[in-house]
């Protein structure tokens, strides 16, 4: 995929349908949450910067107050983005024709073997019958 399209995608843009497999791999891969965080940072940073600059140059606010407001907006925006990350990527996949919940199920399928091994180790240590 061409780098300009990747930048567009991480800035919040929608890719053409032929890249639906790329989007699926992006939201179900091992580092999906890290990529989601980067995408959220790319989307939130310009908006909070514009707000802080508008406070200083447009309204004449003191720059420490404008930076504090911008930082608060940045933290809140990132918090809400990450709070709804699984739902957000599931919704993103529905735009590419996948059924609802495909991303969550894809991650579950990818991690199924590791999860069973972890559960077996846990059960071996903590679920022993003492009789």
* Per-residue confidence in pLDDT tens, the chain, 131 aa: 889 998 899 888 999 999 999 999 999 988 999 999 999 999 999 999 999 999 999 999 999 999 999 999 999 999 999 999 999 999 999 999 999 999 999 998 988 888 899 999 998 888 876 65
Task: Name the pTM for this structure.
Answer: 0.79
Looking from the CA of 65 toward its CB, the CA atoms found within 13 Å total: 8
- DSSP letter, residue 16: P
Task: Decide: 5 and 19 in contact? Cβ < 8 Å.
Answer: yes
């Amino acid at each position: 995929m061409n780098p300009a399209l990747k930048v567009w995608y991480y800035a919040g843009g929608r890719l053409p349908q032929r890249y639906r497999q790329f989007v699926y791999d992006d939201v179900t891969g091992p580092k999906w949450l890290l990529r989601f965080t980067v995408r959220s940072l790319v989307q939130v940073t310009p908006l909070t910067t514009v707000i802080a600059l508008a406070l200083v140059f447009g309204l004449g606010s003191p720059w420490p107050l404008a930076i504090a407001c911008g930082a608060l907006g940045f933290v809140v925006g990132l918090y809400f983005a990450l709070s709804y990350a699984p739902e957000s990527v599931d919704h993103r996949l529905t735009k590419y024709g996948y059924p609802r919940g495909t991303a969550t199920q894809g991650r579950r399928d990818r991690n199924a073997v590791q999860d069973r091994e972890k559960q077996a180790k846990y059960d071996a240590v903590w679920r022993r019958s003492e009789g």
